[in-house]
Amino acid sequence: MINPFIQRIFQSRQARNGGLVRRNIGWVNFLASMEQLEAEVRRRGFHMFVVGDQVLILCNSGGLQVVC
C-alpha cells in the first residue's frame, strides 16, 4: 500500500498534468521516506533529482536531456 503522503504528491495538479513537483527532503523523510518515494517514482517511470534539500520529480516518462 502506498504511503498517503506519497499518494498525495502524485494526485497534485502538477503531477497529473505531467509537470514538476518539488518537496523538501526533510518532509519526505518525516512523513514517508526517500526510499518509498524513489520506488514510486521508478514504478511510474518518472525522473527524480535531489538538489540541495529539495527533491524534484518530473512527472513525465519521456526522454530526458541535460542541457547545462
Distance CA 18, CA 1 (A): 23
Q: What is the pLDDT of residues 43-54, one digit of tens each?
A: 999 999 999 999
- pLDDT at position 20 is 97
Q: What is the SS3 assignment for 56?
A: strand
Contact 31, 3 (CB under 8 A): yes
CA distance 59 to 19: 5
Do residues 18 and 60 make contact, with C-beta atoms less than 8 angstroms apart? yes
Q: Residue 1 above 90 pLDDT?
A: no
The answer to whether the predicted template modeling score (pTM) of the entire model surpasses 0.75 is yes
